[in-house]
Chain A
Amino acid sequence: MNADRSHYAWRPLLLDATHAHRTGQVSYDARGTVRLCHEGLGQPVQIPAERQYPCAFPTLLSLDKALSNSSNSPRMRSGGTLREAFDHEYQGYLTLLSKARETPGVWEPDYGSYVYDRRTGELYLVAPEFWHHLALLTSNAKLLTDPAGVLSAEEIRDRLAQTVVGFVGASLGSNVIEGVVREMRPRVAKLADPDYLEATNLNRLQHGSLRYLSQPRACRNDPRNGFETRFVSKAELVAYENQLVDPYMCWHLYPEGVSADNLDRFLLGSGTEPRLDYVVEECDDVRIKIEVRRRAREYGIPVFMASDLGHRSQAQLQDFAAHPTAPLGFQIADSELFARLERCMTSGVREDWFRLASGLLGEEFAVDEYRNWVDQVGEQPTSSIPQSGAVAQLSGALGGKLLALHRLGHPAFERVIIDTRRLRMTVD
Chain B
Amino acid sequence: MVAAEIGMHDTPARRAFESWSLPLLDLEPFGALNADRQYRVSLAQARYLLGFSLLAPSSHNTVPQAYRLDLPHSTIELWLQRDRVLPASDPTGQQALISLGCAAENLVLAAAQYGIGCSWQPDAELAWNHVTPSPSPLPVRVGQLQLTPGAPIPDTESRHATLLTMLERRTVRAEFDSAQRLPPTLRASLDSALEPNGPITLSWFESPAEKFAWSKLDELASKHKLEERAFQRELGDWLLPNEDERSPRGMRGREFGFDDALTRELSAQLRGEVPMAVDQLAFMARAGRVGLCSASAVCVLSSHDQAAATALAVGHAFQRCALLARALDFSCAVHTAVCEVPHAQAMSQATLMPAGMTPRMIFRLGKPRRTSDASRPPSSRPLLDDLLLA
User: In whole angstroms, what is the CA distance A271 to B280 when docked?
Assistant: 45
Interface of A toward B, CB cutoff 8 Å: 194-196, 220-222, 225, 227-230, 255-257, 259-261, 345-350, 353, 373, 376, 380-385
Q: How far is the CA of A88 from the CA of B283 in the complex (A)?
A: 61
List, in ascending order, chain A residues with CB within 8 A of B277's CB.
350, 376
In the complex, chain A residues whose CB is within 8 Å of the CB of B174: 346
The A-contacting residues of B in range 174-224, CB under 8 angstroms, are 174-175, 178-179, 207-209, 212, 216, 223
Q: How far is the CA of A296 from the CA of B212 in the complex (A)?
A: 24
Select the residue from A194, A259, A382 with max chain B CB neighbours within 10 A: A194
Kindly list chain B residues whose C-beta atoms are within 8 Å of the C-beta of A373.
Answer: 278
Mark interface residues in B275-303 (1 if CB within 8 Å of A CB, else 0): 10111111100010010000000000000
Query: Judging by beta carbons under 8 Å apart, are B209 and A194 in contact?
Result: yes
Known: A229-B351, A260-B179, A376-B277. A384 touches B282 (CB 8 A): yes
CB distance from B239 to the nearest CB of A (A): 11
Query: Please, could you name 17 A-B residue pairs with CB atoms under 8 Å apart, sorted by A?
Result: A222-B350, A227-B350, A228-B351, A230-B351, A256-B207, A256-B212, A257-B212, A260-B179, A346-B175, A347-B257, A349-B259, A350-B277, A350-B279, A350-B280, A381-B278, A382-B278, A384-B279
B175 and chain A: residue at smallest CB distance: A345
List residues of B (105-120) whose CB comes within 8 Å of A's CBs.
none
- Give the distance in Å from the alpha carbon of A345 to the alpha carbon of B178 in the complex: 14
Instruction: Determine if B25 is an interface residue (Cβ-Cβ < 8 Å).
Output: no
Q: B259 to A385, Cβ gap below 8 A?
A: no
With a cutoff of 8 Å between Cβ atoms, the chain A residues found around residue B278 in the complex are: 373, 376, 380-383
- Known interface pairs A256-B207, A347-B262; A383-B257 also in contact (CB < 8 Å): no
Interface residue SS majority, chain A: loop
Q: Is the CB of B175 within 8 A of A350?
A: no
- Determine the distance from Cα of A261 to Cα of B350 in the docked complex, in whole angstroms: 30
Let me know if B266 is at the binding interface, CB within 8 A: yes
Distance in angstroms between the alpha carbons of A413 and B116 in the assembled complex = 74
Could you tell me the distance between the alpha carbons of A261 and B209 in the complex, rounded to whole angstroms? 13
Residue of A nearest to B355 (CB): A221
**Of B277, B282, B346, most A-chain CB atoms within 10 Å:** B277
Q: Report how far A348 CA is from B266 CA in the complex, Å.
A: 10
B35 at the interface (CB under 8 A from A): no
Taking CB as reference atom, which chain B residue is nearest A349?
B262
A228 to B353, CA, bound (A): 11
Q: Could you say which residues of chain A place their CB within 8 Å of the CB of B262?
A: 347-349
Distance in Å: Cβ of B210 to nearest Cβ of chain A: 9
B231 within 8 A of A: no
Chain A residues with Cβ under 8 A from B349's Cβ? 227
Given contacts A228-B350, A380-B278, contact A256 B283 (CB under 8 A): no
A347 to B287, CA, bound (A): 11
Q: Is the CB of A194 within 8 A of B281?
A: no
Whether B2 sits at the interface, judged by CB under 8 Å, is: no
Query: Is B39's beta carbon under 8 Å from chain A?
Result: no
Residues of chain B contacted by A383 (CB below 8 angstroms): 223, 278-279, 281-282
Instruction: State whether the Cβ of B160 lies closer than 8 Å to any Cβ in chain A.
Output: no
B287: chain A residues within 8 A (beta carbon): 348
B258 at interface, CB cutoff 8 A: yes
B369's nearest neighbour on chain A, judged by CB, is A345
Q: Which residues of B contact A348 (CB under 8 A)?
A: 256-258, 262, 266, 287
B370 contacts the other chain (CB 8 A): yes
Chain B residue at minimal CB-CB distance from A286 = B290
User: Apart from A221-B350, A255-B209, A350-B280, what 18 extra A-B contacts exist at CB < 8 Å?
Assistant: A196-B216, A225-B346, A227-B343, A227-B347, A256-B208, A259-B208, A345-B175, A346-B174, A346-B175, A346-B257, A348-B258, A348-B262, A350-B277, A353-B283, A376-B275, A381-B278, A383-B223, A384-B282
**A-chain residues with CB within 8 Å of residue B259 when the two chains form the complex:** 347, 349
Which residue of B has the minimal Cβ distance to A225? B350
Name the one of A229, A380, A385 contacting B347, with C-beta atoms under 8 angstroms: A229
| Minimum CB–CB distance for B337 against chain A, Å | 16
Q: Which residue of A lies closest to B275 (CB)?
A: A376
Q: How far is the CB of A232 from chain B (nearest CB, A)?
A: 13
A229 to B178 Cα, complex, angstroms? 28
- Contact residues in A for B257 (Cβ distance below 8 Å): 346-348
Q: Which residue of B lies closest to A342 (CB)?
A: B370
Roughly how many angstroms separate A230 CA and B350 CA in the complex, as a whole number?
9
B residues near A227, Cβ cutoff 8 Å: 343, 346-347, 349-350
Distance of A373 Cα from B350 Cα, bound (Å): 37
Residues of A within 8 A of B258 (CB): 347-348
Interchain CA distance A221-B257 in the complex, whole Å? 41
Closest A residue to B343 using CB positions: A227
